[in-house]
Structure 1
Amino acid sequence: MSTNEQRIVIVGGGIVGLSIALGLARRGVQVTVLEAQTLGSGTTSTSYAWINANGKEPHSYYAINRAGIEAHRAFATEATGGGQWFFGTGHLEIAADASHEQDLRHRAEALARRGYQVQELSPEQAAALEPGLNLPESPRAIMYFPEEGHVYPLLYVAEVAHRLRAAGGKIVEGATVVGFDSAGGGVVVRTQDGGSYPADRVVLASGGRTGEVAELGGGTVPMARFTEPGDVTVGYLARTNALPVKLARLVTTPWLNARPEGGGRLVIQALDLDATAEPGNVPGLDSELAEQFLTRLRSILPASSGARIDQLLVGQRVMPADGKTIASPVPGAEWMYAVATHSGVTLAPFLGRAVSGELLDEPEPLLEDFRLSRFTQGVPAEPPRGPRKPGEQ
């Protein structure tokens, strides 16, 4: 079968699914994206969107995240104006106690050995880099990671969707997949609204629902599911009003992580506060939690005295059962390929190239450690613990 005769359906219109769809469309595949709600409305819209390979272990996981950073830069250069969704402005991390300092130095040394750019800064150098930042009186260590950055996920989604349509791809929103039927040598994907979409292959890029969708077709993709407040699958994210704050890059402190959101707005998170997070129970904008976010923000950015929380949400992390990325054919369903990862924003443009190649019989060596075959020895009894240290995602 020639490439332009192949029909591939992508289940999930988030940042990963759309990137894979674009990779396929550029290769001449007839590709259709089925999104249950609207493009980017799932995990993509609730991501802190930090592009990095910082502390990503083991080495194979570091390698694909490094490839993700490079793919973001390459993709952004394709666009007129250099890609208005991508900001490779770096990341500044400040340690104020001995434990954080030890962790930060250990990560920095490991990254430097791999050729990752790391610079230790003096307080004066950090103040010159981010003059609006209130530094601790005696910071234990300040590290700058100039290769890192952030994206505006929905602007990335808009760009990819535009390019996908221009390449002949089809996007269907409001299309919840409810089943799969065998048809000849392929499959028909059925949706809740009565739609049916014939395909030779199906890619599951459904975020936290990937396991559930796989089961509809007789496949197994082990995913961690929400069990209790503050577990690994959930975390708070807050967005502020527009502020007269000078902040050019991601900043990580023991109390708060913050990054620019555009137009003077900020995105902030405080991982220790995630202990009470649960879907469907989001505290109000005038809640004690919102006030804690504001207090911490004002302590690190004095010009944010007029800040208010305009949006407070509980994001749901895409977390395979063992915490490691999945990019793999699904055993027992030869027409199904699954992608699930906590690092979806960083990896999206890399996965767009790599997975589209794999679907066309071009294996990607960097993905060999991320196959579902690793679960044949049994899924871990408990999912990984949620991130709670400064700098973790």
Structure 2
Amino acid sequence: MKTVGIVGAGVIGACVAFSLAQRGMRVHCVERAQPGGLTTDVSFARLSAFQQPTYARFELSHTGMIEHLRFAQQFDSAPWWHPTGSLAWGDDEDDGLPFADVVHRLSSWGYRTVWRDASRGTHAWEPAIAFPHERTPAVLFPDEGWVDGPELVSEILAAADDTGRLTLWNGTVDGIEVHAGEVRALRLEAGDRIEVDAVVNAAGPQAPTVAAMLGTAPIEGVATRSSLVIDLLTGDDPVRHVLRGAQVHARSAGPGRVRVRSDQIDARLPAGIRSEPGDELVKDLLERVYRTIPTLESATVDQVRIGTAVFPGDGFPSVGALSAVSGYYEAFANSGITLAPFIGRTLTTHIATGEIHPLWARCSPDRLRTAS
């Protein structure tokens, strides 16, 4: 039985752990915080391929969305999965294109869309929205939705634990032992040494730091994105879909809760910020929310947080084996929640059989090492 160590128990690490355990492998998953409690918990967690500028990246995200349905069907219930559909509208540009052109491009790629404008039926979909104009173009993406990341992590780690093949470690990895070019063990700060046949680096924002422990060429060409996210207590459920407005994005975050963010606000966050945002940015985001969804003005602010993601700058994930070290694999990505179940299943197949899924052909970790 192969033994695999996973660094990180966010949504990607948890999905990899679940798939490996289901495949019959022994899994040691090391997480320095509550599983699913860091980047996964702060993510807006929308299942979408809307934002992808090329067909190759769209195909990957769309495949990840479809995989969520297959993944949920493995369980008697999937309380983390909310296929609500999304409602989007805009009076601005996305990727330099008018909103309508972005949607038409998606439609030409086979993405399901339903057009309306604010005066013809859209209020029946989302009566709480104050659209900029009665002729504001809006589109429903019926295949989109959102995921409760911490709930997903909790449920599938419990399922993996039920196999008897998962051990969860609360700690920090401070070394990866490599002998004769092969991974042999993980070392923890507390002094523990875990013998493994392979390691999966699913450490999210810490992935470059973990990769540096190999002593090989460092990861280069990574990007960082921070997002200000506010959770509101509403007492009811005023938001039916995931909303992607010109000024604000919003979705349910469970009964009586709404999560909000804004591209415009995130663009003003200092690079790499990890601390609390300034009051001015919080006030600006809330004002945008109240203008867009006036009923939320009576809501109570519950949490104000900043989530920071680190991912390859070309927009594609780093998924697969590093050729310089036998037994070392990476799994970190932008849109991690959308891709996590697909990464979990296909990376497990790669570890077990060596087979590389065609969609990972351009996602090799080797491309991030200029000296490789």
TM-score, normalization by structure 1: 0.87
Question: Are the equivalent residues in 1 in contact too, given 2:232–2:259 (CA < 8 A)?
Answer: yes
Match of 1:281 among 267, 272, 275: 275
Cα-Cα RMSD = 2.3
In the superposition, relative to structure 1, how do residues 376 and 289 fare at CA in structure 2: closer, same or farther (>3 Å)?
A: closer
Shift of the alpha carbon at 1:99? 7.4
Q: Deviations over 1:206-242 (max 9, x none)?
A: 00111111111124333536xxxxxx42121111123
Partner of 1:15: 11
Q: Which residue of 2 aligns with 1:77?
A: 73
**Any stretches of 5+ residues in structure 2 without a counterpart?**
none
Q: Does the C-alpha gap of structure 1 residues 340 and 88 become closer, same or farther in structure 2, counting only changes over 3 Å?
A: same
Distance 1:271 1:22, change over 3 A: same
Which of 9, 24, 32 matches 1:36? Answer: 32
Structure 2 CA distance, aligned partners of 1:41 and 1:279?
18
Cα deviation, residue 181, structure 1: 2.1
- Once residues 102 and 363 of structure 1 are traced to their aligned partners in structure 2, the CA distance between those partners, rounded to angstroms, is 34
Equivalent positions of 1:197-346 (< 5 A) are 197-219=194-216, 220-222=218-220, 224=222, 232-274=224-266, 275-277=268-270, 279-283=273-277, 287-346=279-338
Aligned to 2:49: 53
From 169, 187, 191, give the equivalent of 2:188.
191
Structure 2 residue 349 is the aligned partner of structure 1 residue 357: yes
Assess if the C-alpha contact under 8 Å between 2:6 and 2:199 holds in 1: yes
1:369 partner SS = coil
SS of 2:76 mapped into structure 1: coil
Match in the other structure for 1:104:
99
> Hey, what does 2:367 align to over in structure 1?
374
Q: Which amino acid aligns with 2:19?
A: G
Residues 223 and 207 (structure 1 numbering): CA distance in 2 closer, same or farther, change over 3 Å? farther
Alignment partner of 1:174 out of 147, 170, 195: 170
Structure 1: gaps (5+ residues): 226-231, 380-393
Q: Matched residues in 2 for 1:217 and 1:330: separation?
A: 11
In structure 2, the CA distance between the partners of 1:209 and 1:97, relative to structure 1 (3 Å rule), is closer
Shift of residue 186, structure 1, vs aligned partner: 4.3
Distance in 2, Cα, partners of 1:327 & 1:196: 25
TM-score after normalising by structure 2: 0.91
Q: 1:248 to 1:218 in 2, by over 3 A?
A: same
Look up the SS of the partner of 2:362 in the other structure: helix
| Identity in percent | 25
Structure with a larger share of its residues in strand: 2
1:67 alignment partner in structure 2:
63
- DSSP 3-state at the match of 1:78: coil
> In structure 1, what residue type is equivalent to 2:100?
R
Instruction: Measure how far apart 1:371 and its partner are.
Output: 1.0
